[in-house]
Structures are given as structure tokens and as C-alpha cells.
Homo-oligomer: A and B are copies of this chain.
Amino acid sequence: MDGGGRIAIGALSKHTGTNIETVRYYERVGLLPAPARSSGGYRLYGTDHLKRLNFIRRARALGFSLAEVQKLLTLADQRRRPCADVRIVAAAHLQDVKAKIADLRQMQRVLKDTVARCEAGTGSHCPMIDALYTDAEAAARRPATVRR
């Protein structure tokens, strides 16, 4: 059970839906252990790599940063009751997600309003541009946790 699947990087990539370059990137930054190599230097992965990579992808899909994924993996690696620690990481991330949703909803509200005024307006100037030039009220107030 030490994983002897012996698959090349392309197969691993396909099985996990991960870009080949991304797999190598994960290895470079230490998320995925360096696999065995063929005589010619090809990476050969086992089932343990497959599992670990799936773990990473799922955590990423839930919005965990690579640093958080690293933490979770470390916790998962040590058998003895990491559950409380895991919960701390996950709960913190959940708070993050909540804050982002709140921010985005605020954006959405202002955007909707302004676009609506834009559609209604028949004047010579644009309500959207006006808002950006002169409103302090709507935007620019909050730090905005969400980055693009």
C-alpha cells in the first residue's frame, strides 16, 4: 500500500483534471512529493500521489489557498487527532468566504442600481460615470476583501 501505480505525468494530469505544468509546480513548491523517475528521467507517480493531488485539487476548489492546503496536508499526515486544528483552518476560511460574499453583494447592489439608472437615464451625461467621479457614498467606502 505504498502506491506503485507507476503512471506518467500526463496520465496523472488526466486522472485529476490538473494541468501538467501545475503538477510540476506543486512539486516545486513542496505540496506534492517528488516522485520516482524512469531511467530516462520521466516522473512516475503512484496511487499515493494521485490521492494527494486529488486532496489538493478539492481543497483548492473550496477556495483554500496553497498555504492553507499545505497546513491541511500536514495535519492530515499526522494521524493523532488533527480534527480540532483542521476545524480552525476551515472555520477561518469559512469566515473569509463569508466576508467576500458580503463584499461582492455590496458591489452587486451598487452596480445594479447604477446600471439601472443608466438604462433609465435619457440625459446627456452617464449616471455610471457620474457616480464614479462624484459619489463617495456608494463605493470607495469599504476596503473590499475581494481581489480579482
Residues of A whose CB lies within 8 Å of any CB of B are 17, 51, 54-55, 57-63, 65, 72, 75-76, 81-83, 86-87, 90-91, 93-94, 97-98, 100-101, 104-105, 107-108, 110-112, 114-115, 118-119, 121, 124-129, 131-133, 135, 138-142, 144, 146, 148
Contact = CB atoms under 8 A, between A and B. Distances in A.
Contacts of A55: 132-133
Given A58-B135, A61-B140, A118 B86 contact: yes
Given A76-B133, A104-B104, A140-B58, A128 B94 contact: no
A97 B87 contact: no
Contact of A83 (B75, B104, B111, B121): B121
A91 B115 contact: yes
A63 B101 contact: no
Contacts of A93: 111
20 contacts: A57-B139, A58-B132, A58-B135, A58-B138, A61-B140, A62-B107, A62-B139, A72-B128, A75-B126, A76-B126, A76-B129, A76-B133, A83-B126, A83-B128, A83-B129, A87-B128, A98-B108, A101-B101, A101-B104, A101-B108
